[in-house]
Amino acid sequence: MPIRLGAVSYLNTRPLVYGLEQQADRFDLRFDVPAKCAELLHANEVDLGLIPSIEYPGHDYRIVPGVSIASDGPVASVAIFSKVPTENIRSLALDTSSRTSIALLRVLCARWFEIEPRLVSMPPALDRMLGECDAALVIGDNALFTDHSALGLEKADLGEEWIGMTGLPFVYAFWAGRPGLVGPADVAALQDARDRGIAATATIGRQSFPDNPERAARADVYLRENVKYALGEPEIAGLRRFYALAAEVGVLRSAETLRFY
Last residue of a domain, one of 131, 166, 201: 166
- 153 and 182 assigned to the same domain: no
Q: For residue 150, what are the domain limits? A: 78-166
Number of domains composing the chain: 2
- pLDDT tens digit string along 44-101? 999 999 998 999 999 999 999 999 999 999 999 999 999 999 999 999 999 877 789 9
Last residue of a domain, one of 125, 146, 166: 166
- 128 and 11 assigned to the same domain: no
- 82 and 160 assigned to the same domain: yes
Could you give the CA distance from residue 236 to residue 240 in angstroms, rounded to a whole number? 6
- pLDDT tens digit string along 134-155? 999 999 888 999 999 999 999 9
Straight-line distance from the first to the last Cα atom of the chain, in angstroms, rounded to the nearest whole number: 19
- 53 and 83 assigned to the same domain: no
Distances (CA, A) of 73 to 50, 161, 165: 22, 8, 11
pLDDT at 73: 96
pTM metric for this prediction: 0.94
- 175 and 240 assigned to the same domain: yes
Comparing CA positions, the residue from 120, 119, 131, 135 lying closest to residue 84 is: 135
**Domain of residue 240, CATH code:** 3.40.190.10
- 182 and 242 assigned to the same domain: yes
Could you give the CA distance from residue 222 to residue 201 in angstroms, rounded to a whole number? 9
Q: In which element (H, E) is residue 107 found?
A: helix 99-108
